């Protein structure tokens, strides 16, 4: 078998297409992520068992555990699934892929999704160039989906074709008589092979050929199958390279699930393999040694994944904590996820309202962090750092839009139940607060956009302008800080709102003062007219932000939530 440098470039190009498809697919999902898709996925994965069944069903339908885990990673990346939900689906995918092996063995067919990639691109083309944003998002998702599978097929096609050249692996006969060390060695070989050929089905074919040729026995074939279960996780981890922290954690959870499974099976290796062998010979009545070994390997694969899921399903929380410990979150990695509103309503409306209260407090704190990011942009000279922070602000603004909708929908759902007049009033106030907090996030985004435009047009503020903007930002920051203090106070008086009113009056007066001063400075040629436009845009937007803060405080004082 010859493998040229050009073949290597084709392999790297396939990887690039795969990663790009993953990125486009996730971005399309994020834009398309309406309530319906989120509700469907939440309903399908509302507990561990339904999550496992969902993974099994999807994998059995598309006949590719790699495809399922890659899609799960993209769903997590888009905020449609939580890490806990994704772990259940991944467990189910591991069982589902064994169903595929039995279908191929019994019926001899397998769906090739990559064959539909080009027709899908043709169908998606009009959507991709549509003027309507929702259709364009669907088009982006289909484009990403197609590129992903074209890349995945390219990875398989351009990897060294070891299954067609099994003689290259004949040397392994020299390492078959080293006892349990041989088991560990072949487990490692199975892992590496699957990582190279990017298809556990191809590695399984290689395993069957090696067993049929008598190079290795049943136990070493099982060791290769165990290695394949670890090696197949590389696909999801490759997909997660372009994803966010939650996507990387989901991919690592897939790896950990399989590694933990392999570890406990190694402890009971000989009894477990003997049990599978007995089942094939005495229950399935397969006696022909040349046929029995392939059935034994398929049965072992199924028994291993079902047993592993039945055991590990009780440790989903531990897996989640472990991957979070390995991949620690950073402030810039914060993703969209409601922390307290996790599913349906609680047993009583009062408890559901309490959930929403906590979520709104979290929402308010997030907007305060967003404003602090804006303040950091004022003097930022490094363009890479500026761009990175600006991207975070844009991301926070998208998060705030979705949080507003999610919380408002939840409160609307709660209000449809039987509520006291006091609870109905609470919900009304909470809805007002959520709307105003989202407006604060919009103002923060507008401020960041103005600073970005100022930099793009090479405009610069004078030291005096910077001093005035800094003073305005300080006042707004005090207003936001006061708002969050009020959120956390158990007892409120009208004296609490007086402090916020005083800050707001100071912001208004300072805005008016700077507005009048700006006209004089432009007339005196202290700075260019365009510089004055950006300057006053920031001052005016800061004053609007202060108004939104006072509106939130008024709602809180009006009726304590």
Q: Which CATH number goes with the domain that contains 526?
A: 1.20.58.220
Q: Would you say residue 80 has pLDDT above 90?
A: no
Q: Which structural domain range is residue 160 located in?
A: 5-326
Report the pLDDT value the prediction gives residue 394, as an integer from 0 to 100: 87
Residues 6+ apart with CB under 8 A from 165: 1
Whether residues 318 and 357 share a domain: the answer is no
Whether residues 506 and 554 share a domain: the answer is yes
The structural domain count of the chain equals 2
Is 507 within the bounds of a domain? yes
Q: Would you say residue 528 has pLDDT above 50?
A: yes
Report the pLDDT value the prediction gives residue 443, as an integer from 0 to 100: 93
How much is the average pLDDT of 457-486?
A: 90
Report the pLDDT value the prediction gives residue 547, as an integer from 0 to 100: 92
Q: Would you say residue 330 has pLDDT above 80?
A: no
Whether residues 513 and 443 share a domain: the answer is yes
Residues 6+ apart with CB under 8 A from 442: 397, 400
Q: Would you say residue 130 has pLDDT above 90?
A: no
Average pLDDT, the chain: 79
Report the pLDDT value the prediction gives residue 539, as an integer from 0 to 100: 92
Which is more confidently placed, 159 or 435? Answer: 435
Transcribe 464-495 into DSSP letters.
Answer: HHHHHHHHHHHHHHHHHHHHHHHHH-SS--HH
Q: Would you say residue 536 has pLDDT above 70?
A: yes
Task: Give me the half-sphere count of Cα atoms (radius 13 Å) on the Cβ side of residue 294.
Answer: 16
pLDDT tens figures, 331-383: 555 555 666 675 555 546 667 788 888 888 888 988 999 999 999 988 888 88
Transcribe 293-338 into DSSP letters.
Answer: HHHHHHHHHHHHHHHHHHHHGGGHHHHHHHHHHHS---GGG-----
Among the listed residues 98, 376, 400, the one whose alpha carbon sits nearest the alpha carbon of residue 229: 98
**CB neighbour burial string for 392-405, b if at least 16 within 10 angstroms, e if fewer:** bbebbbbbbebbbe
Whether residues 17 and 166 share a domain: the answer is yes
pLDDT tens figures, 289-302: 666 777 788 788 88
Whether residues 314 and 361 share a domain: the answer is no
Q: Would you say residue 489 has pLDDT above 90?
A: no
Is 365 within the bounds of a domain? yes
Q: Are the CB atoms for 87 and 320 separated by under 8 Å? A: yes
Which is more confidently placed, 298 or 531? Answer: 531
Whether residues 219 and 147 share a domain: the answer is yes
Report the pLDDT value the prediction gives residue 34, as an integer from 0 to 100: 53
Q: Would you say residue 486 has pLDDT above 70?
A: yes
CA distance linking residue 82 with residue 39, whole number of Å: 13
How much is the average pLDDT of 465-475?
A: 92
Whether residues 317 and 396 share a domain: the answer is no
Is 17 within the bounds of a domain? yes
**H or E, element range at 377:** helix 349-377
Whether residues 297 and 401 share a domain: the answer is no
Whether residues 315 and 355 share a domain: the answer is no
pLDDT band at 309 (very low <50, low <70, confident <90, very high): confident
Is 379 within the bounds of a domain? yes
Q: Would you say residue 392 has pLDDT above 80?
A: yes
């Amino acid at each position: 078998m010859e493998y040229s440098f050009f073949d290597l470039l084709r392999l790297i190009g396939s990887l690039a297409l795969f990663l790009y498809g993953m990125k486009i697919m996730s971005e399309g999902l994020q834009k398309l992520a309406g309530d319906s898709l989120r509700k469907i996925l939440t309903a399908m994965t509302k507990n561990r068992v339904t999550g496992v069944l969902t993974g099994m069903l999807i994998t059995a339908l598309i006949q590719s555990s790699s495809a399922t885990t890659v899609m799960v990673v993209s769903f997590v990346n888009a905020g449609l699934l939580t890490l806990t939900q994704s772990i259940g689906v991944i467990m189910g995918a591991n069982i589902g892929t064994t169903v595929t092996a039995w279908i191929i063995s019994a019926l001899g067919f397998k769906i090739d999704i990559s064959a539909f990639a080009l027709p899908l691109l043709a169908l998606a083309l009009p959507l991709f160039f549509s003027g309507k944003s929702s259709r364009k998002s669907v088009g982006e998702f289909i484009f990403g989906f197609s590129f992903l599978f074209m890349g995945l097929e390219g990875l398989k096609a351009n990897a060294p074709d070891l299954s067609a050249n099994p003689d290259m692996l004949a040397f392994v006969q020299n390492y078959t008589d080293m006892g349990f060390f041989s088991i560990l060695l072949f487990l490692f070989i199975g892992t590496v092979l699957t990582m190279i050929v990017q298809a556990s089905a191809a590695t399984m074919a290689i395993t069957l050929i090696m067993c049929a040729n008598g190079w290795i026995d049943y136990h070493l074939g099982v060791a290769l199958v165990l290695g394949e279960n670890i090696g197949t996780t590389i696909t999801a981890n490759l997909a997660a390279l372009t994803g966010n922290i939650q996507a990387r954690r989901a991919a690592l959870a897939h790896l950990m699930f399989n590694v933990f499974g392999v570890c406990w099976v190694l402890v009971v290796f000989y009894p477990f393999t003997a049990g599978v062998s007995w089942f094939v010979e005495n229950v399935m009545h397969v006696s022909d040694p040349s046929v029995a070994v392939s059935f034994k390997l398929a049965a072992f694969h199924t028994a291993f994944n079902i047993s592993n899921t039945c055991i590990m399903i009780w440790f989903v929380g531990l897996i989640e904590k472990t991957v979070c410990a390995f991949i620690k979150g950073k402030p810039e990695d914060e993703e969209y996820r409601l922390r307290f509103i996790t599913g349906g309503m609680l047993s009583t409306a009062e408890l559901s309202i309490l959930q929403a209260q906590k979520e709104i407090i979290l929402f308010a704190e997030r907007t305060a962090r967003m404003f602090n990011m804006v303040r950091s942009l004022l003097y930022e000279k490094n363009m890479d750092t500026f761009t990175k922070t600006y991207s975070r602000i844009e991301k926070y603004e998208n998060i705030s839009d979705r949080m507003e909708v999610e919380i408002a929908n939840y409160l609307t759902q709660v209000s449809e139940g039987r509520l006291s007049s006091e609870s109905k009033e609470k919900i009304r106030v909470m809805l007002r607060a959520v709307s105003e907090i989202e407006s604060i996030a919009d103002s923060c985004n507008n401020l960041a956009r103005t600073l970005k435009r100022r930099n793009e047009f090479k405009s610069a503020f004078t030291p005096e302008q910077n001093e005035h903007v800094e003073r305005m930002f300080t006042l707004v920051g005090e207003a936001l800080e006061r708002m969050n203090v009020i959120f956390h106070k158990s007892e409120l008086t009208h004296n609490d709102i007086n402090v916020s009113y005083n800050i707001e009056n100071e912001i208004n007066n300072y805005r008016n003062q700077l507005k009048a001063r700006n006209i004089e400075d432009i007339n005196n040629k202290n700075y260019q007219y365009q510089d004055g436009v950006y300057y006053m845009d920031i001052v005016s937007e800061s004053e609007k932000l202060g108004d939104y803060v006072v509106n939130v405080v008024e709602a809180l004082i009006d009726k304590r939530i």
